[in-house]
Structure 1
Amino acid sequence: MIPDTRRATVEPYSSSLVMTKKKCNWDADILPASPTKCFQESPVLPRICIAPARAMYVGPGLQLAPHSNAAATIAIALKESFSLRTFKPPSGWSEWRSCMSALIPSETLHHIKSDGPLAFLYLDPVTDRQHPLTQEALDQGRAQLLQMDPKFGIHDAFGAFDIQPQRARDARIQRVVLEIEKRPAAFGRLAEAAELACLSPSRFRARFQVAVGLPFRRYRMWRRMAIVMRAVAQGQSLTTAAIESGFSSSAHLSSAFKGMFGLSASEVIAMGVALDISEDRVEALGSIQVQKK
């Protein structure tokens, strides 16, 4: 069940935080922050922020189906803990464990249950791969995030965990990554991307996997998801955004989106989620220095 998002006041953060409901109304605006307010003193309304190959969700815990994301994900409890289990063949599902923060590796089938608000930080597979995060670092990042203005941006959130973009190591792969941003419906065949990188298809496939940590088609799918959200934020319908981003149909998008995030794109939109693209500067990807090999 999606938690009540009506206005409420909350005592300052502590390990035994309890929400106390006061006089509530249905105003959907986030309360303005004062210098003495921490994040948890404002209601958590659903929003998605997109910033090139990074993304962030902040909002109520959802009844997500098991899913596997192309990007490594930091899950953060904004109030009470969430439950997490992961699937690893051949042993199968792990035991449920209670978490306040967790790093979920890319391409890891997992299942999250939460009755409280959460934040998910989706890392850029190209520039954020070199950030090993210990549980101590995750806990420290969470504590810092909880003290921020409730309208914190995606770059502020990543900064709380001290995640700064690293240099892309392969100029040829970076060229393809940038072109996906410009032409999301392109590269229907891997050979087209390999040609842009001046590599044979087999060499490109192997080199892309090493540089990004994902197969090319899986990374392309991840980027197309964000591009769909960007288009919807600019007023396009899901169907139009899906076709223009390279999906064969809205049904194709719905199936792929649910497999990656645990619910369909239409379900996300139906939540009344706010889509924030104010920090989405595609040109920033081109400013990252690359090292030629």
Structure 2
Amino acid sequence: MTIDALSEICGPARTPVAWVRPGHVGYVGPDLGVDPHSPSVAMLSVGLDAPLVVHSAQGPIRTGSSFAPARTTQRVVATRGWILALFVDPAGAPATAIADEMTTAAGPFGLTHRRERELVELCNGPLVDPDHIYARAIAGPAPVADPRIERVAAIIRSDPAHTFRAEHIAANLGLSTTHFLRLFTAQCGTTFRGYQRWNRMIHTVRGAVSGHDLTRSALDAGFATPSHFSETFRDMIGLPATKVFRAGIHFDLGTSPAS
């Protein structure tokens, strides 16, 4: 279905929106036709006009909403209309806070969010409020975080271009490298290296959306080459970055640096 056809269903005033906030990155808009992808962070998907079909190693799953842990390969398809795709920074708010809100499961996927109807109403309203959507997606209190890992994650977010070495950080924390890496993954739900890639990608997107050259933004974020950024973006999002930037999406960067 084309965006023009969707506008007949959803109304001509409806504009696709994507946002970048500390702790979450989201998209509300038509299905852009993603390929199978595996984000470094957790992802909540909600069908806003009709159920979704989640294609995974377990086969197709039809559901109103789906939660995929970090590094889970999937392809989410809207059967009709628009979707919410919410990528959750596991260090800013542990993904288990959303996982606990899912009422059923299929393999690694959580299905049917407790506030699915409310999330649909928030996304279909006249004004998309990213922070309100995020707050309702999590709702309950997040699990207690390890302050050591939180500090490390904050340092990575503050300097995404820097290549952090696990052995150096582990030594500073008085831990073995193996124990630190295991602790980071258990706390964040994603790997130490994957978390660095995610933050480099977000830094690049912020730069490009702000009007800077995409190649320069990718290099400034720490990618070795523009093609490395392109491959990372497609692996995590399921689309070429250029397709997303040309899809008529309104980008909301907020006022704070992204995670």
Deviations 1:70-101 (A, max 9, x none): 222111111122211212xxxxxx23232221
- Choose which of 109, 114, 117 in structure 1 pairs with 2:73: 109
| Aligned-residue offset at 1:246 | 1.0
Q: Percent identity?
A: 25
Q: Which runs of 5+ in 1 are unaligned?
A: 9-18, 25-30, 32-42, 88-93, 286-293
Instruction: Give the TM-score, by structure 2 length.
Output: 0.84
Deviations 1:178-205 (A, max 9, x none): 1112211112533344355454433322
1:186-201 matches, cutoff 5 A: 186-195=162-171, 197-201=173-177
Pairing 1:159–2:124 present: no
Structure-2 separation of matches of 1:20 and 1:48: 17
Q: Structure 1 residues 139 and 190 mapped into 2: Cα distance closer, same or farther (>3 Å)?
A: closer
**Farther-moved stretch of structure 1 (151-160 vs 135-144):** 135-144
Structure-1 separation of matches of 2:73 and 2:6: 33
Pairing 1:50–2:20 present: yes
Structure-1 separation of matches of 2:137 and 2:21: 16
The equivalent of 1:134 in structure 2 is 102
Code of the residue aligned with 1:97 in structure 2: it is I
Secondary structure in 2 matching 1:4:
helix
Q: Structure 1 residues 120 and 171 mapped into 2: Cα distance closer, same or farther (>3 Å)?
A: same
Q: Structure 1 residues 56 and 266 mapped into 2: Cα distance closer, same or farther (>3 Å)?
A: same
**Farther-moved stretch of structure 1 (176-185 vs 200-209):** 200-209
The equivalent of 1:36 in structure 2 is none
Which structure has the higher relative contact order (CA within 8 Å, separation 6+)?
2
Q: Structure 1 residues 169 and 81 mapped into 2: Cα distance closer, same or farther (>3 Å)?
A: closer
Deviations 1:31-87 (A, max 9, x none): 4xxxxxxxxxxx2x3221111131111111021111111222111111122211212
Deviations 1:92-137 (A, max 9, x none): xx23232221112221111222242111111221223332122379
**Farther-moved stretch of structure 1 (219-228 vs 168-177):** 168-177
Pairing 1:122–2:87 present: yes
Code of the residue aligned with 2:4 in structure 1: it is D
How many corresponding residue pairs?
A: 247
Question: Alpha carbon RMSD of aligned pairs, Å?
Answer: 2.6
Pairing 1:144–2:114 present: no
Q: Structure 1 residues 151 and 198 mapped into 2: Cα distance closer, same or farther (>3 Å)?
A: farther
Code of the residue aligned with 1:107 in structure 2: it is R
Q: Structure 1 residues 244 and 195 mapped into 2: Cα distance closer, same or farther (>3 Å)?
A: farther
Larger of the two Rg values belongs to structure: 1
Instruction: Tell whether the 8 Å contact from 1:102 to 1:135 is kept in structure 2 after alignment.
Output: no
**Farther-moved stretch of structure 1 (161-170 vs 108-117):** 161-170
Q: Structure 1 residues 162 and 180 mapped into 2: Cα distance closer, same or farther (>3 Å)?
A: closer
| Aligned-residue offset at 1:254 | 0.6
Code of the residue aligned with 1:124 in structure 2: it is D
Structure-1 separation of matches of 2:174 and 2:210: 34
Q: Which runs of 5+ in 2 are unaligned?
A: 105-110
1:65-84 matches, cutoff 5 A: 65-84=35-54
Structure with greater strand share of residues: 2
Structure-2 separation of matches of 1:124 and 1:239: 24
The equivalent of 2:107 in structure 1 is none
Secondary structure in 2 matching 1:222:
helix
Structure-2 separation of matches of 1:20 and 1:173: 43
